[in-house]
Amino acid sequence: MAHQEIIFAGFGGQGILSMGKFLAYAGLEENLNVSWLPSYGPEMRGGTANCSVIVSENPIGAPLVTDATTVVVMNRPSLDKFESHVVKGGLLIMDSDLVNREPERTDIEVIKIPAQRIAEEVGSKKIANMVLLGALVEKTKIVSMESLLKALKEHGKEQFYELNKKALERGAEFAK
């Protein structure tokens, strides 16, 4: 694990910032150093939203991520903007239901997940972000699924916990 820098990006309203927040809380749960830095496009809902999350065993100098070990994108504009930010050998996770082009880079690992479809099967398209987050945690082992679920229970809305948990598990299965 040591040190990972992640960018989550998509449209406002897709739960981009929550993905980052739950991951940061899970890092705290494991006594790691974390930073969470949200960024909104000028349009807010429907505009682009992204957040940088750093999870590290070492102190974190600056919260802004420019060279990401992992980038998670939920729309085409985010892929266009952040594909170049993934470090060589890094990971790109994308919602293949919403991103309508192939990544251009060949020096990174790409996981394409039909997150909208999986989320709908689980119960709601609104939880597609959790499907992607589950895949991220499974693939990178950045935090344990236990810590992530604990963060979700403590900081998420209780009525959505079971649904979110299922979505995380489906995403993790997909990434295996």
Mean pLDDT in each 10-residue stretch from start to end of the chain (176 residues)? 90 92 97 93 68 96 94 96 97 97 97 98 96 98 97 94 97 96
* Domain covering 3-175, topology: Pyruvate-ferredoxin Oxidoreductase; domain 3 (3.40.920)
Q: For residue 78, what pLDDT is reported?
A: 94
Q: What are the residue ranges spanned by the domains of the chain?
A: 3-175
- Cβ atoms of 35 and 23 within 8 Å: the answer is no
Indicate the pTM of the whole model: 0.95
Q: For residue 12, what pLDDT is reported?
A: 84
